Amino acid sequence: MAIAEQQTSPEATQSSSDKSWHGIVLQTLKRNEISLVPYVPDRVLTPLIKNLHADPFFTTFATAREEEAVGIVSGAWMGGRRGAVLMQTSGFATLANVLASLAVPYQIPLIMFVSERGTLGEFNYGQSLVCRTMRPVLDSLALEHHTITRLDELEFIADRSIKQAVTTQAPVALILNPLLTGGKVFDK
Amino acid sequence: MNKDLDNRNTKMMNRFDVTSRLIAKLEHEEAVIGGIGNTNFDLWAAGHRPQNFYMLGSMGLAFPIALGVALAQPDRRVFALEGDGSLLMQLGALSTIAMLKPKNLIMIVMDNGIYQITGAQPTPAAHVADIVAIAAGSGLANSAWAADEEDFERLVDEAMSASEPSLIAVRIDDKPGVGTTRRDPVQIRERFMHGLGVREPL
């Protein structure tokens, strides 16, 4: 958390040209006209969520469950508005049903940002086990996914993946690794 | 609150009949999202429209999907038809909708107290919970039981010009749906997008 916290507080309200991971994500969403961003919060995602709320371009709000957020952005896509869902690993673990029965068969370009818990210093055994279910679920549906570890690769991966999702009408999961975000560590 | 839920003054109606009454009222290409199972079977049976979307899974997501459509197209009225069992899977969505207050969203709950399609087992809420009270408690003040078919039509008319989201609960019988939706998810989605003016056919 130390690293993530350093990134969160002072920079949370910085301008959009900011080259933090969350600044890049926000700008990439905007450039791709993704204006609807429901989320179930995560500590690591806090600066991104704060800045999305601060920017009138975005309609961003918490949902009670991640699959609810998937339903919302799926409906919005069909209505002509682009969205993305923010969640943490344990939230992704609740999505197998909606991925397999809505996003994939109806060919909806569902864009997911997943803050990765459960690895590289995880302190909660449950989180580390949940994390191990994520990639097998993605792979079982042959879903595109990338684990982003480097700041210098983030914009390329996120921008290209969003464009690919839209043009191929297929979901994508962008996994934000602790190497990128700092993650969450035991002392907080 | 400890009402006698088994002796209510709401008439027991029929899903297909109520759905047909709704569809007959739609004159402005309103979107309609049909929840999983009998709910969308009866929507299909009431006559396919390009603005209908039929769910083939993801139980409980009719209201969230409709919310997304409503947020994307604020000038279009969006109806969502959901069963009581489905709604119980996603009660949190009621609060999300109450917080966002999309005035163009109208939620209709078909309440038979059973999972009709799986063998008519009672839902856990069947004899103990009141869906309109749950909706009101979730922040959806404009929620009401339809007393009978005429009252249902009146509530739909009111919802068409309401300044906040509306929820109409209908007590229905235990009959199955009268049709079966053609289960072609890509065509369903594509036709729906054509119906909403988002895309043109190839």
Q: What is the distance in angstroms between the Cα of A35 and the nearest Cα belonging to chain B?
A: 10
| Residue A18 pLDDT class (50, 70, 90 cuts) | confident
User: Are A77 and B188 a contacting pair at CB < 8 A?
Assistant: no
**Residue B3 above 60 pLDDT?**
no
Average pLDDT over residues B118-129: 96
Residues of B with CB under 8 A from a CB of A: 31, 33, 53, 55-61, 63-73, 76, 90-93, 95-96, 99-100, 185-186, 188-189, 192-193, 196-198
* ipTM of the complex in this document: 0.97
User: Are B92 and A74 a contacting pair at CB < 8 A?
Assistant: no
* Nearest-by-CA chain B residue for A82: B72
Predicted pLDDT at A186: 72
Average pLDDT over residues B84-91: 98
User: Are B93 and A101 a contacting pair at CB < 8 A?
Assistant: no
Query: pTM of this prediction?
Result: 0.94
Q: What's at B98, amino acid-wise? A: A
Average pLDDT over residues A51-71: 98
Average pLDDT over residues B33-40: 97
**Residue A3 above 60 pLDDT?**
no
Predicted pLDDT at A2: 40
How far, in whole angstroms, is CA B77 from its chain's centroid?
13
Q: What number of other Cβ atoms are within 10 A of residue B172's Cβ?
A: 27
| Residue A9 pLDDT class (50, 70, 90 cuts) | very low
φ, ψ for residue A148 (rounded to 5)?
-100, 120
By Cβ distance, the residue of B58, B71, B198 closest to A102 is B58
Beta-strand pair A172-176/A111-115: parallel
Predicted pLDDT at A6: 42
